[in-house]
Amino acid sequence: MPRYCLEVAYKGTAYAGFQTQQNANTVQDELEKALAVLYRQPWSLTGSSRTDAGVHAKQNFFHADAPFEVVKRHLYNVNAILPPDIVVKNIFSVAPNFHCRFLATFRRYRYFISIGKNPFTQQVAWFYPYALDLELLNAAAAAIMQFSDFTSFSKRNTQVHTKVCKVERSHWYLENDMLVYEVVANRFLRGMVRGLVATQLQAGRGKITIDELNQIVAAKDASKADFSAPAHGLFLEEVGFPENTFTAV
């Protein structure tokens, strides 16, 4: 049976996350409904990266098996059915053993903080009205990369076997009127990026030292981290796969 991969983007404000869950509407639900309408049979999608309620994505992926041919011109049709805050950007043919979660090599997230109050970014950036030291923030970001066990930044009751992640990039920078945190890793834990952001902001304000930040990570205790960063400032920017993974339909 042919296997296909869908590249999607969405604004997560109206959704209870990426993956289907009981008694809540999700991005996956909307995609499966739209595909069922178009192809007149149910689809069962598997996602590459789970985003929490209110988190956005400029790139995420689903894969599914379909007992029929899927062609690129169907993009227009499925996007006409989907709500305006979700788009299927591309459809690819992939190998029968392709798995968009397990074969992904990295995920890249960015968190946006509005330096000044801006009514036009209130759903996509966190207005944080405190003075921050960019040099301290980048010292904190560099400290994060010394660790591999991120238990302190994982919300409880997660069904994962390991809290080890390989962080490849971690830094802060200014972009127009935004302060941006960018982090790249092979995998992320539930709530991890928001925990990293909020805890580093404590360092950027001088509320904790870099040594104290190191102690928080080393403690492997989520009660010591700050998870107050709201979901709406977080974007899944990119999911990476090995070369030649995708074939155009």
Give the catalytic positions in this structure.
52
Distance CA 4, CA 60 (A): 14
CA distances from 193 to 45, 226, 229 (A): 25, 11, 9
Beta bridge partners of 8: 60, 88
CA distances from 223 to 26, 155, 199, 205, 216 (A): 28, 9, 12, 20, 9
The DSSP-derived string for 102-132 is: TS--EEEEEEEEESS--TTSTTTSEE--S--
Half-sphere exposure of 215 (CA within 13 A, CB side): 7
Closest among 191, 171, 167, 169 to 180, alpha carbons compared: 171
